[in-house]
Chains A and B, each alone.
Chain A
Amino acid sequence: MNYLTILSALAGGAMIGLAAALLLFTHKHTAGISGIAAGMLPPWSEGSVWRGWFLAGLLASAPLYRLSGANIALDLDASPGLLAIAGLLVGYGTRLGGGCTSGHGVCGIARLSVRSIVATLTFMLTAGITVFIVRHLL
């Protein structure tokens, strides 16, 4: 890690935390992306509206960032087939577990939720084991 990596990690993290704080204190919603995205499945209700606008902002961030002339690295090693399997596991798992990296890992831990701390340790562990198996054993 060089200084630029450290600085951008801290700045990016602060932006994520600030966005979650603003959503929480102005609208009383949790910035958990899996829950927000799953709430966009039909049938739509009143709750789909704030989710839709938040997601629209999230989706717009990449094209707007590119407008500044900067490139966004996106290196996907896995094949589309494997990514589809991964996506299914992420979709089902985050709903069953009630959150993802943002909902449990940031918002939940920030309010010292035991459920979120346990969930975060669990998905970090199984993700680490999965990467170890794929990269070092297979």
Chain B
Amino acid sequence: MKNTVYLFAYGLLFGLGLIVAGMSNPAKVLAFLDVAGAWDPSLALVMASALLTLGLARYFMHRNNDAADSEQEPSARVPAGVDGKLITGAAIFGVGWGLSGFCPGPALLGLSAGVLGNYAFVTAMFAGFWLFRLLHQR
């Protein structure tokens, strides 16, 4: 029960962070990706700030707690090397991101606004998750 409240709170904090940062708006994300247009570099600051915060937290946690090194859930322990799947998958994701301005977090967060295109995106995204499972697992 306590865990449940914490997990909900972390998701909430993550979502509020996306909103405060402006990443919840696809138009702003596209303005960041449009280097040749009216470029909005602020999302680079969002990423830098997130990385700095998480990086510092990791540094202090690891300094005080060796056990934190075994942090990954088993499913997240992926092969260490760069391979074709990684590059191909990331490249395909980038095209979808560039077409819409949506990555998974903001797309899910936007659902409550009730925009038709948002529903279309999220439904298709889950179809994509399912397609991957169909083609590459079992």
CB distance from B49 to the nearest CB of A (A): 3
Q: Which residue of B lies closest to A55 (CB)?
A: B11
Q: Please classify the interface of chain B as helix (H, G, I), strand (E, B), loop, or mixed, using the class held by over half of its residues.
A: helix
What range describes how many residues of B lie at the interface?
35 or more
Asked if A13 and B48 make an inter-chain contact with CB atoms under 8 angstroms apart, the answer reads: yes
Asked if A107 and B54 make an inter-chain contact with CB atoms under 8 angstroms apart, the answer reads: yes
Asked if A11 and B20 make an inter-chain contact with CB atoms under 8 angstroms apart, the answer reads: yes
Asked if A54 and B17 make an inter-chain contact with CB atoms under 8 angstroms apart, the answer reads: no
> Which residues in chain B, 99-115, are within 8 Å of chain A measured between CB atoms?
99-105, 107-113, 115
- Contact partners of A105 in chain B: CB under 8 A: 47
| A contacts with B, residue count (CB < 8 A) | 106
Asked if A101 and B14 make an inter-chain contact with CB atoms under 8 angstroms apart, the answer reads: no
Residues 124-138 of chain B: 1 if any A CB is under 8 Å from the residue's CB, otherwise 0? 111111111100100
Indicate which residue in A8, A97, A100 contacts B88 across the interface (CB closer than 8 Å): A97
> Which residues in chain A, 1-54, are within 8 Å of chain B measured between CB atoms?
1, 5-6, 8-35, 37-39, 41, 47, 50, 53-54
Q: Please classify the interface of chain A as helix (H, G, I), strand (E, B), loop, or mixed, using the class held by over half of its residues.
A: helix
Asked if B100 and A78 make an inter-chain contact with CB atoms under 8 angstroms apart, the answer reads: yes
Q: Residues on B close to A: CB < 8 A?
A: 3-4, 6-28, 30, 33-37, 40-43, 45-55, 57-58, 61, 68, 70-73, 75-76, 78, 80-82, 85-105, 107-113, 115-118, 120-133, 136
